[in-house]
Amino acid sequence: VINACDAGREGELIFRYVMEAAECKKPVQRLWLQSMTKEAIQDGFAHLRKEEEMESLLEAAKSRSESDWLVGINTTRALTALNSKGGGFFLTTAGRVQTPTLSILVDREKQIRAFVPKDFWEIHATFGAKAGEYEARWFDEKLADQKASERGAEQKPEQTGEVHDEKKPSRQLSPLLYDLTSLQRDGNSRFGLSARRTLQIAQALYERHKAITYPRTDSRYLPDDYLPTVKKTLKNLEGTEFGEFSKTVLKEGWLKPTKRVFNGAKVSDHFAIIPTLQVPDLAKLDEIELKVYAAIVRRFIAVFYPEAVYEVTTRITRVKQHAFRTDGKILKEAGWLAVYGKEGIEEGGSEEGKLLVPVSDGEKVKAVAVVVDGLQTKPPARLTEATLL
């Protein structure tokens, strides 16, 4: 008997339950598929695994199943009985994952409700340089004393200051390949999808379209010997809208056996989610399937691109005894951000500041405007699916 159930913990358990119910004692071999393409299925049948190799996976699945009964069902019955003893039926569910997660949400809600906002003030100035204007903030970021902030803001327009820039390079690596959790996190933050919906779409791309590898993985790496397959996949993508970038990877020789991508020691039951050799007809994917597929393909290609390089600038403007600070950065080399186009460059550039007008070291600048902003501290943000994941 060949076990061709889902290649994972739960698939193993389902098969064993069926064998037990059927009282089947025949020898078993395991078909382990990483993708649903013809080549992958043929390779899986050519390398069937022994049943004994799956025992630890079976025990893990049994532990999960039995803990759900021991913790989830028993606790749910106890809590429901307790809450219903006054009459009626008040279902109160509990579970090994649900209850700790609910506790995290409740703790955050308590923090939000107990939060007392505090007033603070910030001093912002606009300075005029030869190349144009730029904004800066007084060094004390949050002033609790309004009078002190007003005294600090007494730098009248037209007063002269001196500016100095400190510049240093900053490099940003591409994100690792997707596992299910990181794909669900991106699906929620970028496309507004629930974790369940992202999984459904990924499952459709895997089963129906045969466009991606097994999605229910917790690994973000590929096997050490997978480089030839990756090369073929990149070549197959050349005829798609991603072709410009896959061609560049191969042309520039960026496809290398780096441990950041090819690391068998960090591959669990399944490797990272990547496109398969079978490129789908993109016109046959619905809008949201195309978005998720494109995200997987771009992540796959981008991981081989070089780093994005920025020039990070800290600008200090001194007016008498007062110092104002401005942070900004300039993208010097797009690197992997080029794969994502304008969207990626905007996201990559949002962390450390904004574009600054150039100045020469020691240049004299004028305070064009100085304002005091009255603000309030904010409570912690409520958790979203993306932050919970």
What is the tens place of the pLDDT at every residue in 357-369? Answer: 889 999 999 999 8
pLDDT of residue 344: 62
Q: How far apart are CA 322 and CA 137, in angstroms?
A: 11
pLDDT of residue 351: 43
In a domain, residue 365? The reply is yes
Mean pLDDT of the chain: 90
Same domain, 266 and 353: no
Same domain, 210 and 279: yes
Same domain, 165 and 314: yes
Write down the pTM of the prediction.
0.79
Same domain, 195 and 294: yes
Q: Which residues on adjacent β-strands are paired with residue 162?
A: 318, 364
In a domain, residue 286? The reply is yes
Q: How far apart are CA 85 and CA 207, in angstroms?
A: 48
Angle at 12 between CA 179 and CA 229, to 5 degrees: 45
Q: Tell me which of 181 and 148 has the higher pLDDT.
A: 181
pLDDT of residue 350: 45
Of the candidates 302, 328, 348, which is a domain's last residue?
Answer: 302
* Given the residues 178, 214, 221, 305, the one annotated as active site: 214
CATH number of domain containing 140? 2.70.20.10
pLDDT of residue 101: 94
Same domain, 93 and 132: no
pLDDT band at 141 (very low <50, low <70, confident <90, very high): low
In a domain, residue 384? The reply is no
Same domain, 277 and 203: yes
Domain count for the chain, please give it.
4
Is 151 a residue whose pLDDT tops 50? yes
pLDDT of residue 267: 86
Judged by DSSP in three states, 121 sits in strand
Q: How far apart are CA 297 and CA 320, in angstroms?
A: 54
pLDDT of residue 264: 86
* Cβ–Cβ < 8 Å for 155, 125: yes
Mean pLDDT over 214-236 rounds to 94
Same domain, 134 and 200: no
pLDDT band at 325 (very low <50, low <70, confident <90, very high): very high
Active site residue 134: no
pLDDT band at 146 (very low <50, low <70, confident <90, very high): low
* Cβ–Cβ < 8 Å for 226, 271: yes
Same domain, 41 and 102: no
Give the domain extent around 129.
Answer: 120-173+307-376
pLDDT band at 289 (very low <50, low <70, confident <90, very high): very high
Q: Tell me which of 353 and 127 has the higher pLDDT.
A: 127
Same domain, 285 and 345: no
pLDDT band at 370 (very low <50, low <70, confident <90, very high): confident
In a domain, residue 288? The reply is yes
Q: What is the pLDDT of residues 14-61, one digit of tens each?
A: 999 999 999 999 999 999 987 777 888 898 999 999 999 999 999 999
CATH number of domain containing 290? 1.10.290.10
In a domain, residue 235? The reply is yes
Q: Spell out a b/e string for 366-387, using b for 16 or more CB atoms within 10 Å of the CB, else e.
A: ebeebeeeeeeeeeeeeeebbe
Helices (H), the chain: 9-22, 38-46, 55-67, 74-84, 98-114, 146-152, 180-191, 195-207, 227-236, 243-251, 287-302, 341-348, 385-388
Q: What is the pLDDT of residues 73-99, one digit of tens each?
A: 999 999 999 999 999 999 999 999 999
Same domain, 187 and 273: yes
DSSP letter at 177 equals: P
Is 121 a residue whose pLDDT tops 60? yes
pLDDT of residue 114: 97
In a domain, residue 383? The reply is no
In a domain, residue 157? The reply is yes
Judged by DSSP in three states, 312 sits in strand
Q: Tell me which of 159 and 302 has the higher pLDDT.
A: 302
pLDDT of residue 331: 85
Q: Tokens 């780096």 identify what position?
A: 258
Q: Tokens 């060094």 identify what position?
A: 139
* Cβ–Cβ < 8 Å for 198, 389: no
In a domain, residue 191? The reply is yes
* Cβ–Cβ < 8 Å for 165, 361: yes
pLDDT band at 120 (very low <50, low <70, confident <90, very high): confident
Q: Tell me which of 75 and 351 has the higher pLDDT.
A: 75
Is 156 a residue whose pLDDT tops 50? yes
Same domain, 268 and 218: yes
Q: State how far the alpha carbon of 125 is from the alpha carbons of 135, 136, 149, 320, 370, in Å.
A: 6, 5, 13, 14, 4
Is 132 a residue whose pLDDT tops 60? yes
Same domain, 222 and 367: no
pLDDT band at 144 (very low <50, low <70, confident <90, very high): low
Q: Which residues on adjacent β-strands are paired with residue 325?
A: 137, 316
Helices (H), 115-172: 146-152
